[in-house]
């Protein structure tokens, strides 16, 4: 099989390149703010930050699809969703109030 003389890579649109640059810069600045590290160190870790954010977003999308399918199969989806939201709200409220649960 012969290789073609032209490149196999296609051009990226200018708009997509600019948007991805701004998203990457925003992620780096968010990491600098959240973890209080230097901007130069976060910029050096930018590829790792982007990959980690992409993996986390993928997990969120996967679990959202699982939850949607699971709710679709249940007999009372609103009850299940209400219980899940209530449990999340209780955990969030207890965390904000600084309640430490006993450990074994």
Of the ranges 13-22, 66-75, 91-100, which is most confident?
Answer: 13-22
Within-domain flag for 103 = no
Q: Is the pLDDT of residue 7 over 70?
A: no
Q: What is the number of other CB atoms lying within 10 angstroms of the CB of residue 41?
A: 12
Within-domain flag for 8 = no
- Residues 46-79 have pLDDT tens digits of 999 999 999 999 999 999 999 889 888 888 988 9
The number of folded domains in the chain is 1
Within-domain flag for 81 = yes
Domain that holds residue 21: 14-97
Q: What are phi and psi of 28, to 5 degrees?
A: -65, -45
Q: Which residues contact 37 (CB under 8 A, 6 or more apart)?
A: 31
Q: Is the pLDDT of residue 6 over 80?
A: no
Within-domain flag for 102 = no
Within-domain flag for 104 = no
By mean pLDDT, which of 12-16, 39-43, 57-61, 95-99 is the weakest? 95-99
Within-domain flag for 4 = no
- Structure pTM? 0.67
Sort residue 2 into left (φ over 0), alpha (ψ -120 to 50) or beta.
beta
Residue 99, pLDDT score: 83
Q: Do the beta carbons of residue 21 and residue 43 sit within 8 Å?
A: no
Within-domain flag for 3 = no
Within-domain flag for 65 = yes
Higher pLDDT residue, 104 or 5?
104
Residue 8, pLDDT score: 75
């Amino acid at each position: 099989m012969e290789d073609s003389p032209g490149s196999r890579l296609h051009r990226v649109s200018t708009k997509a390149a600019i948007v991805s640059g701004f998203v990457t810069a925003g992620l780096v600045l968010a990491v600098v703010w959240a973890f209080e590290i230097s901007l130069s160190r976060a910029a050096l870790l930018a590829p790792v930050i982007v990959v980690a954010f992409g993996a986390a977003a993928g997990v969120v999308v996967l679990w959202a699809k699982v939850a949607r399918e699971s709710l679709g199969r249940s007999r009372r989806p609103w009850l299940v969703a209400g219980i899940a939201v209530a449990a999340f709200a209780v955990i969030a409220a207890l965390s904000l109030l600084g309640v430490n649960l006993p450990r074994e």
